[in-house]
Amino acid sequence: MTAPTAGSERMSRVDHAWLRMDSDANLMLITGIWLIAPRITLAEVSQRVEHSLLAYPRFRQKVVEDATGASWVEDEAFDIGHHVTRETLRPRSGEAALAALKRRVAELAAQPLDPSRALWQFHVIENLDGEHSVLICRIHHCIGDGIALNSVVLSMADGGQPPPQRKPREAAPGEEHDWILDHLVKPFTELTVKAIGLTGQGMGKGLEMLSHPGGGTFDMARTGLQVASDVAALALMADDSPTRLKGRATPGKRVAWCEPLPLDDVKLAGRVFGVSINDVLLSCVAGAIGDYLRGRGDDPTGSEIRAMVPVNLRPLDEAWKLGNRFGLAPLTLPVGIAHPVERLYTVHKRMAELKTSYQPLLAFAVLAVSGLMIKPVQDAITGLFARKATAVMTNVPGPREPIHFCGRTVRQMMFWVPQSGDIGMGVSILSYAGGVQFGLVTDAKMCPDPEAIVERFAPEFGKLMWLALMAPWPAIEAD
């Protein structure tokens, strides 16, 4: 492996895999918005970003690729003016303002970042509707996963905590490999007991090679063979049901989001039915998609679609270290079940099965090793994930109380996850300030009207709440 140059840091294999996963149809950009009131100026945002976000050295670094991977290198020509820019939308009001904002967010989600600069950009709409400003954030997935970037972006809020102080240094040799060994190989010894019938000792050996890599062609060949074996396990997974939401991805995007549901109501529904908050929300996602398909004249009865769900593999208190440390778990959503309670318990059962699954570890290992392969091989590996899924879906907990930014209130926040290969839908669930809301980004050809799905989330939850309120209450003795 090529040694890093002075002042540079070698990019991890998983991060390199995400860097190279960009395609014309799907960019690996995590996109988010803050709706801020009263209005704010570009100068104020630039100053806050400079004093908080740039405390993380990664945001001053650009990526330099070479024959064996990539390195993070200080951008000596760094100019914050290239990264915090003004967006001008003609001031509108009400639905017209939101429609214009959605169009612009969708355009930015499909617009590549400048590869010669640090891979992030903030866009400031100073005047959306006469009352609000909007901060649109775009960060490449190679910088960090959702948990990490959520932690870092929130550090910009008033009272936000900067990253822990540490002396600049190059990554110690084997540091990444030691992490993989401690967090993947050792825990996997227990998980192989369950997985022996599918991947056997081969997966464990693959992870061991990953944690002690060789530099020669023979070692690379052995690793490649092991990846082929591990990927075969994923290939055995049945494809999800064909629907209008699957197909060949195209460059155009559409985005939508909904008004928040009261989080206390979601908790109440979960308690009544004896399931988790996540089960309730995922059941609403499945119900909304199924009802959307019925509304388009399709019959989803018996249909299921698979969503790749990120699973965090790092301690939450280390999120500030950035990078990608998560696996992917395939969750099958029963979009063909119309009855809300039957669908809820089906989701609950499948989530319980995923909690004891080894598949997130398998996915992490496959992505890590794919970062070593030539681009066509990596595309074939990541394409396998795409063929097995219709959507990417993530659920991120946000602040419980409203946050403030430069003395203003962040009224609403939302984000959208990228999709890889030919996956054409990303579902985001975010809790914030006592509410929980859904965001959707879709391929413009496969689903040109994501609002028609988003507007079904609240009615699907309403059905569950209505049934929850009808549940028998415990007898109350009179005084």
pLDDT in tens, 13-57: 889 888 988 999 999 999 999 999 999 999 999 999 999 999 999
Average pLDDT over residues 104-108: 96
What one-character-per-residue DSSP string does 218-272 give?
Answer: HHHHHHHHHHHHHHHHHHTSPPPPP-TT-S---S-EEEEE-PPEEHHHHHHHHHH
Among the ranges given (33-47, 130-144, 178-192, 294-308), the one the predictor scored with the smallest mean pLDDT: 178-192
Residue 310 has a pLDDT of: 81
Using CA atoms, how far apart are residues 107 and 445, in angstroms rounded to an integer?
Answer: 14
Most confident of 98-112, 165-179, 318-332: 98-112
Using CA atoms, how far apart are residues 437 and 33, in angstroms rounded to an integer?
Answer: 13
pLDDT at 189 over 60: no
Among the ranges given (153-157, 178-182, 328-332, 416-420), the one the predictor scored with the smallest mean pLDDT: 178-182
pTM (2 d.p.)? 0.83
pLDDT at 206 over 80: no
Most confident of 263-277, 302-316, 326-340: 263-277
| Angle subtended by helix axes 200-211 and 359-370, to nearest 10 | 50
Which residue type, as a one-letter code, is found at position 51? H
The model's confidence at residue 177, banded by pLDDT at 50, 70 and 90, is very low
Using CA atoms, how far apart are residues 311 and 354, in angstroms rounded to an integer?
Answer: 10
| Domains along the sequence of the chain with CATH | 8-154 (3.30.559.10), 175-235 (no CATH)
Residue 360 has a pLDDT of: 61
Using CA atoms, how far apart are residues 306 and 332, in angstroms rounded to an integer?
Answer: 4
The model's confidence at residue 319, banded by pLDDT at 50, 70 and 90, is confident
Among the ranges given (171-180, 305-314, 345-354), the one the predictor scored with the smallest mean pLDDT: 171-180
Tokens representing 196? 């022996």
Instruction: Identify the residue whose tokens are 């996915």.
Output: 363
Residue 7 has a pLDDT of: 62
Average pLDDT over residues 174-183: 47
Backbone angles phi, psi at 438, to 5 degrees: -115, 140
Contact in structure between 136 and 40 (CB atoms under 8 Å): no
Cα Dmax for the chain: 82
Buried-state track 72-83, b at ≥16 Cβ within 10 A, e below 16: bbebeebebeeb
- Region at 247 (left for phi over 0; alpha for psi -120 to 50; beta for the rest): left
Tell me if residue 457 falls in helix, strand or coil: helix
Residue 362 has a pLDDT of: 63
pLDDT in tens, 52-91: 999 999 999 999 998 888 999 999 999 999 999 999 888 7
Q: Which residues contact 58 (CB under 8 A, 6 or more apart)?
A: 72, 143, 144, 322
**H or E segment and range at residue 96:** helix 94-109
Instruction: Please measure the distance between the N-terminal and C-terminal CA atoms of the chain and give it in whole angstroms.
Output: 78
Mean pLDDT of the residues in the chain = 81
Which residue type, as a one-letter code, is found at position 187? P
pLDDT at 194 over 50: no
pLDDT above 90 covers what percent of the chain? 54
pLDDT in tens, 395-444: 888 999 999 999 999 999 999 999 988 899 999 999 999 999 999 999 99
pLDDT in tens, 372-391: 666 776 777 777 667 778 99
Using CA atoms, how far apart are residues 288 and 261, in angstroms rounded to an integer?
Answer: 14
pLDDT at 211 over 50: no
Residue 198 has a pLDDT of: 32
Residue 357 has a pLDDT of: 63
Tokens representing 101? 């904002």
Overall residue count recorded for the chain in this entry: 479
